[in-house]
């Protein structure tokens, strides 16, 4: 009897842990765990624009599926994913500076010191660009506190 109860309790604890992890994502993913709305992260660096990726060219990194416009871009990503993956898990960089986890518009991007930053939209990006060094400093400090929070928890009003 005691073993049966222990197994049930362990199963319950495991399911609670699993469910909490599934909702707390350090990477901004959409349906089917696709990052950046399916846009090619390497293209931001090589073509200097947002380019949609294709489902036939994919790679995974930190629990997210990234799509690429070519096999060459996919292979470049696989060789150095940390270089090409967006900062702050692909959440809006300005949002992170404001202690929030916000979605992004793949066309609202900025590369600074060979790192990719995305923003909610062009209007938010304009605000971000007003003082990139200060916004970066704040965002990196804040990210340590919200990285593992769920979107709901990170965006909850205090």
* 30-77 per-position pLDDT tens digit: 888 999 999 999 999 999 999 999 999 999 999 999 999 999 999 999
Q: Quote the CA–CA distance of 116 and 42 in Å, as a whole number.
A: 10
Other Cβ atoms closer than 10 A to 26 = 18
pLDDT of residue 2: 53
Question: According to the model, what pLDDT value does residue 34 have?
Answer: 97
Print burial letters for 109-144: b (CB count within 10 Å at least 16), e (below 16): bbeeeebbbbbbeeebbeebeeeeeebbebbeebbe
* pLDDT 10s digits, 83-106: 999 999 999 999 999 999 999 999
Q: How confident is the model at residue 157 (pLDDT cuts 50, 70, 90)?
A: confident
Q: What is the pTM of this model?
A: 0.83
């Amino acid at each position: 009897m005691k073993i049966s109860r222990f197994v049930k309790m362990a199963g319950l604890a495991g399911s609670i842990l699993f469910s909490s992890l599934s909702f707390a994502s350090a990477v901004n993913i959409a349906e089917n765990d696709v990052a950046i709305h399916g846009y090619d992260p390497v293209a931001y660096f090589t073509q200097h624009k947002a380019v949609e990726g294709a489902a036939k060219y994919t790679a995974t990194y930190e629990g997210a599926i990234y799509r690429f416009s070519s096999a060459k871009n996919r292979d470049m990503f696989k060789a150095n994913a940390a270089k090409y993956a967006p900062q702050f898990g692909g959440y809006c960089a300005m949002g992170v500076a404001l202690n929030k986890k916000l979605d992004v518009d793949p066309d609202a991007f900025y590369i600074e010191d060979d790192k990719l930053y995305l923003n909610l939209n062009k209007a938010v990006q304009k605000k971000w660009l007003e003082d990139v060094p200060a916004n970066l400093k704040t965002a990196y400090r804040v990210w340590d506190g919200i990285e593992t929070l769920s979107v709901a928890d990170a965006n909850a009003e205090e």
